[in-house]
Structure 1
Amino acid sequence: MSVWDAIIGQQPVVERLKTIAAGDPKQIAQSWLICGPPGSGRSNLARAFAAALESPDHGLGDEPTKITKQVLAGTHPDVSVLATDKVTIGIDEVRELIGVSEQMPSTAPWRIIIIEDVDRMLERTTNVLLKEIEEPAEHCIWLLCAPSAQDVLPTIRSRTRIVNLAVPQQAAVAAYLERSVGADAHLARRAARLAEGHIGIAKLYATDERVMTDRDELVVGVLELAKASDAVLLAGRLIDNAKAQAEVDVSGQAAKAEADFRRVNGLGPDDRIPPKLRGAYNAIAKKDDLKRRATRRSRDVLDRALNSIASVYRDIAVLQNDAEDAVGLINLENRAAITELAARMPRAAALARLDEVAHARKRLMGNGNPTLVFEALFCALIP
């Protein structure tokens, strides 16, 4: 099993980074910006690249080294990862990382800092990071991840080496699902198709029947919109499902964090927390943090719903332009209803509805009230 095996559909980039990791350390750029659409695997690529840079075999061996396993598991002392569950990355978190970046690596050639979703930084936070990106400490490498180079400030873009990822092909994603989660071929192909190249969502569809069912019901609800009351009811169901999914996910994360804390400190599931550990224990389950995580997770679910809604009108446009043989349909299970709607909807109307989805996404990202955002969207989608 190679360090690069979890990188799906990015072979040209992988080959390039393999060569760089095995090359002259003096020639390696110290500030990188890894860009790719959601689900393309940019954070996984950053971890794999970090593992290749730190490992004595540069990630070229058939079996991962101990160092490689540590980096990929997030336990290597010289590799730090900032992945936020909040809407934005805080300035204090970045300042702490800058302090870490200036320390010499303890066991490996490099101290590597990975920041996922660097596009979630406010401008003042990005400005704090800028100087370190421009002039990194001698033994530090920064790996920043964002959907695209345009999503970060030009000052950051101009000071990093940019790596662009492609949308993985459905066949590659389906093969990964069969290999990694044991999905049967039919489920793997369907999950890959509905996820539209998003590896994380494809894995979710292949492993969580409820999430797949929620998507199916949403698509049917969009296709059956006929009056304002339908729009209001569909929005309500969607918001309720998003909240429920978020609460389950966050509760699971909190339970895992608590179990990890007890295991690390030699405590059983029912043991009392000693007074000297109580502060650290309480910190992993702060109500405010859990609430922020739930809000962020709910927004992620709603963003995924917007992709599903847009896929309906994408399919309509494909049929209207006789392009099915070239690009295929996403919602094959709903082909009859989509074909019927495509026949009675003007081409301009289908494109206008894609614009409405994009507008709803902007309102949601701008902290618009989710219920009002989706009620307005569904009303606009009524034929």
Structure 2
Amino acid sequence: MSVWDDLVGQSQTVATLSRAAGNPAAMTHAWLLTGPPGSGRSNAARAFAAALNCAEQGCGHCRECRTSLDGTHADVTVVATEGLSIRVEDARRLVTEASHRPSVGQWRIVIIEDADRLTERAADALLKALEEPVTRTVWVLCAPSLEDVIITIRSRSRHVRLRTPPADAVADLLVRRDGIDPAMAMYAARAAQSHIGLARRLARDEGARIRRRDVVRMSGRIHTVPDAIGAAADLAAISTEESTASTGERDAAERARLLETLGADPGARTQPPHIRSQLASLEKEQKARATRLARDVVDRSLIDLLSIYRDALVMRFGAPIDLVNEGLRSDVESLARAMNPEELLAAMTAIGTARERIDANVPLLLALEAMAVSLRLPRR
């Protein structure tokens, strides 16, 4: 057993990080791990933290390894924002924590799982800590790509790039770690396009599989502008429903816990000013979390939708490449017959543009409607 066991398809990354963990003289104070969603960036960061504080450089079963991996180690701080950005106040708090010497381990490690969400002011607050590192403190930043990180941050970090793991490696992990049936594991790995977390969810959640199928099959029913408007509304509704389902119960529990901590009466019609202020702050954070979740759900749906146009293009050219949507081969064949390569590429471009617009805060429904109109099947 090793802390690296769940990091599939990343042999070069594992070799680099494990070599550094075993040789303090080769260590650097700041690392930047990049890779596509689902490649295992945060898992690699936690495994690295475990290896740094383990006497055997990541045995996987000692207390240092277990607590580093689950985020409870006293000297390992993990920042995984659920909001739209990491604020300057958060960055300053991290700098203060990083200035302390390790309490029980060999290293103090600060992991920022969403370094691409650092605001400019937050990044500036981290710069001094990266420029003048504290002895025995290591920063591990994670982001989708180098370009997603402010240049002053990436220029002061050692870059390690993760790649998309092969689908069969992801399927093997699901079988070995989660006991998933091999056929289901392979379906989920392909449908998730090797995103490990999403593959696990698809393999275990029938509702997620149904929602994905419905999104992918939208490509075959957009013939007119009204069809496009309806498809856009359906995509927006999926994000709203999933966001509400994921956050509603949690938001209520957080509100009840805050009122209990403040000694307030949950049944009171009005609360004192200082309690209302705390509640307003909590609601603001919850709204930001819900907004990010809704965007993430839509973005994932758009990636799923993009996959069937990709499959149709592969089929048009007869390329010897596995289909992402093998289980929907008849739908892929219909789309390949209906659209020529240029039209398929134009559809893929429209989906990519919609993702960029949503990320740039264009109103969700507006961006989806503009995309869906571009996805209308041609009349022959």
Taking structure 2 as the reference length, the TM-score comes to: 0.90
Partner residue, 1:369? 363
1:182 aligns with 2:176: no
1:102 aligns with 2:99: yes
Partner residue, 2:54? 55
Q: Percent identity?
A: 38
Whether the aligned pair in 1 keeps the contact of 2:90 and 2:122 (CA below 8 Å) is no
Give the whole-Å Cα distance in 2 for the aligned partners of 1:256 and 1:205: 27
Amino acid in structure 2 at the alignment position of 1:366: A
What are the Cα deviations for residues 95-145 of structure 1, in whole angstroms up to 9, with x where unaligned?
A: 110011111111111111100111112223212212212221112100000
Match of 2:339 among 339, 345, 364: 345
Match of 2:230 among 207, 228, 233: 233
Whether the aligned pair in 2 keeps the contact of 1:254 and 1:285 (CA below 8 Å) is no
Shift of 1:173: 0.6
Whether the aligned pair in 1 keeps the contact of 2:50 and 2:64 (CA below 8 Å) is yes
Amino acid in structure 2 at the alignment position of 1:29: T
Partner residue, 1:29? 28
Partner residue, 1:355? 349
Match of 1:319 among 315, 321, 325: 315
Give the whole-Å Cα distance in 1 for the aligned partners of 2:284 and 2:217: 36
Give the length in aligned residue pairs.
366
Amino acid in structure 1 at the alignment position of 2:340: P
1:7 aligns with 2:7: yes
The within-5 A match list for 1:104-123 is 104-123=101-120
Amino acid in structure 2 at the alignment position of 1:250: T
Match of 2:77 among 68, 75, 80: 80
Give the whole-Å Cα distance in 2 for the aligned partners of 1:284 and 1:102: 32
Residues 21 and 185 (structure 1), Cα distance of their counterparts in 2 relative to 1, 3 Å cut? same
Give the whole-Å Cα distance in 1 for the aligned partners of 2:104 and 2:338: 66
Amino acid in structure 1 at the alignment position of 2:315: L
Amino acid in structure 2 at the alignment position of 1:143: V
Mark the runs of 5 or more structure 2 residues left unpaired by the alignment. Answer: 266-274
Partner residue, 2:272? none
Mark the runs of 5 or more structure 1 residues left unpaired by the alignment. Answer: 263-271
Shift of 1:16: 2.4
Shift of 1:91: 0.9
* Greater Cα shift, 154-163 or 363-372: 154-163
Whether the aligned pair in 2 keeps the contact of 1:254 and 1:284 (CA below 8 Å) is no
Indicate the SS of the match to 2:203. helix
The within-5 A match list for 1:93-242 is 93-242=90-239
Partner residue, 2:284? 288
Amino acid in structure 2 at the alignment position of 1:287: E
Give the whole-Å Cα distance in 2 for the aligned partners of 1:54 and 1:252: 37
Shift of 1:257: 6.9
Partner residue, 2:271? none
Residues 299 and 104 (structure 1), Cα distance of their counterparts in 2 relative to 1, 3 Å cut? same
Partner residue, 1:268? none
Shift of 1:286: 2.5
Amino acid in structure 2 at the alignment position of 1:21: A
Partner residue, 1:302? 298
Give the whole-Å Cα distance in 2 for the aligned partners of 1:10 and 1:256: 39
Give the whole-Å Cα distance in 2 for the aligned partners of 1:101 and 1:284: 30
What are the Cα deviations for residues 43-74 of structure 1, in whole angstroms up to 9, with x where unaligned?
A: 11000000110122211x3x511111111111
Give the whole-Å Cα distance in 2 for the aligned partners of 1:255 and 1:34: 35
Whether the aligned pair in 2 keeps the contact of 1:102 and 1:137 (CA below 8 Å) is yes
Shift of 1:277: 10
Amino acid in structure 2 at the alignment position of 1:77: A
Indicate the SS of the match to 1:8. coil
Residues 238 and 12 (structure 1), Cα distance of their counterparts in 2 relative to 1, 3 Å cut? same
Indicate the SS of the match to 1:363. helix
Taking structure 1 as the reference length, the TM-score comes to: 0.89
Give the whole-Å Cα distance in 2 for the aligned partners of 1:254 and 1:200: 23
Residues 209 and 228 (structure 1), Cα distance of their counterparts in 2 relative to 1, 3 Å cut? same
Shift of 1:254: 5.0
Residues 174 and 256 (structure 1), Cα distance of their counterparts in 2 relative to 1, 3 Å cut? farther
Indicate the SS of the match to 1:286. helix
What are the Cα deviations for residues 284-322 of structure 1, in whole angstroms up to 9, with x where unaligned?
A: 993222222111111110010110111111112111211
Residues 322 and 345 (structure 1), Cα distance of their counterparts in 2 relative to 1, 3 Å cut? same
Q: How much is the aligned-residue C-alpha RMSD, in angstroms?
A: 2.3
Shift of 1:346: 2.2
